[in-house]
A and B are shown apart, each in its own frame.
Chain A
């Protein structure tokens, strides 16, 4: 079995079609992307004992929501810790371990729900599943960049699009499964966890076994690197040990962290913001949200849920669109667009609210969400351009700690600023304005970080002899002794 997972066994043979690698990567990313859809379980789990209504011993939604923090923290830390290991052992072994962690996490959570032990949920899906998220997320990145040197952005964009789209499949599927398994004595969640765990395990295994790495020196037929060399795209390689000590790494860390913090902030606010700013106007009734009847509020909530769904579509579309566009306009320019256009749009959102234009308001948020998704999918190619492809998976893994930091910074910032304003008498509908301006400020900081990114100095690149030694070590570690 061990031999089957070795990197040596995944080296493609002549005639292999590189377009088989993105669907393998998508199978893994679509599975782990369900992390975004976990909130579909909160309501049923909050009445797991009471069944029809929450009982005193039932879990609070705030307790269950801790899962998202665990996801972000363990995704980033496992990607950072295991990135170098992934580069050594290859994507297949990493993908299989990710399948065991993510699928296994669901099974442990099923046991946790069945026995009503919240710690089993946190450890199962949060900690073990979170490690699966990190490993699964970075497992195809380096491989895709090596298979698509001519379309680095598009290739990683296709995979990372899957992470954004996973909840679109997982959440409605989970909803149907819970309805199917629900009985007078069960809300159907543990059975759903069990089923999803098996489905994701199989899908991720299929993806992991679909991975192939190109032989060293492989290039697409007829493709030659551009003769017009850009200083921002290197053909050499920086060792992961060296990369994370360089200012370029920390500037990109800032770029990712600030872009994601602002995006997470907006994602959390979008739905309540739409409801509180436009209120009855959303359903053609005059008046603010507070003055509506219960039925009218329910209609407004449905429209807000539709808005959230629309945003998730733009989030995944942005992942493939911006990453592909970056192949043509360059990574640095792409992030300039994110931060420049983003600042304008974040600052313009309160204005759209104040003039009462729903189409402009919705359009602004849709464009913002494409740039949030694009920020994730363009960063691996940016890293490959600056540091080379040899260790890009490991470097990307370490950079993902920025996501963990943003996962905490974004929501905390939004919540605190809003609470402070409401406590000081700012009306609910206007309490978002300052927050949007603060988020725009984060983007200005991101713009400056991106502006400061320069090509890596010659001294930091590996020599041919060092590179050869590293490749030989990897070859031996992969079972090719």
Chain B
């Protein structure tokens, strides 16, 4: 089922550049980055631990 706000936004043809992220969204951004950043950081750490042998 179509939601009015979405169908309107889809049909917009003029640039929409007055959006500002809601203040609360930054907390969500931090959590989302933590969720992917933490395992990536662990992976980098594990690789560095092995790579240190080279030096």
CB-CB under 8 A for A17 and B28, given A8-B6, A215-B9, A480-B6: yes
Q: How many residues of B contact A (CB 8 A)?
A: 42
Does B10 lie within 8 Å of A306, measured CB to CB?
Answer: no
**DSSP class of B's interface residues: helix, strand, loop or mixed?**
helix
Closest approach, in angstroms, between the C-beta of B42 and any C-beta of chain A? 7
B10 touches A310 (CB 8 A): no
CB-based contact A30/B36 at 8 Å: yes
Q: Mark B14-46, 1 if CB is under 8 A from A, else 0.
A: 111111111001101100110111011011101
Is there contact, CB below 8 Å, between A306 and B53? yes
Find chain A residues with CB under 8 A from B10 CB.
8, 11, 215-216, 471, 475, 480
Q: What residues of A have a CB within 8 angstroms of the CB of B44 in the complex?
A: 165, 168, 313
A3 with B25: CB separation less than 8 A: no
Kindly report which residue of chain B lies nearest to residue A18, judged by CB atoms: B21
Pick the contact of B16: A162, A218, A303 (CB < 8 A): A218
State whether A217 touches B2 (Cβ < 8 A): no
A14 proximity list for chain B (CB < 8 A): 19
Task: State which residues 165-207 of A face B: CB under 8 Å.
Answer: 165, 168-169, 172, 206
A51 to B7, alpha carbons, bound, how many Å? 59
Known: A17-B28, A24-B32, A217-B15. A309 touches B43 (CB 8 A): no
Q: Which one of A11, A168, A307 contacts B46 once the chains associate, using CB atoms below 8 Å?
A: A168
Asked if A216 and B13 make an inter-chain contact with CB atoms under 8 angstroms apart, the answer reads yes
Q: Are B51 and A306 in contact (CB under 8 A)?
A: yes
The total of chain A residues at the interface (CB under 8 A) is 50
Would you call B2 and A480 a contact (CB within 8 A)? yes
- Let me know if A441 is at the binding interface, CB within 8 A: no
Query: B21 → chain A, closest Cβ, in Å?
Result: 4
CB distance from A103 to the nearest CB of B (A): 16
A471 to B50, CA, bound (A): 50
Q: Give A contacts to B, CB under 8 Å.
A: 3, 8-9, 11, 13-20, 23-24, 26-27, 30, 162, 165, 168-169, 172, 206, 210, 215-224, 302-303, 305-307, 309-310, 312-313, 362, 468, 471, 475, 479-481
> What residues make up the interface of B, taking CB atoms closer than 8 Å to A?
1-3, 5-7, 9-22, 25-26, 28-29, 32-33, 35-37, 39-40, 42-44, 46-48, 50-54
Apart from the given pairs A8-B7, A16-B19, 8 other A-B contacts in the complex at a CB distance below 8 Å: A15-B25, A20-B28, A30-B40, A169-B40, A303-B54, A305-B53, A307-B54, A310-B51
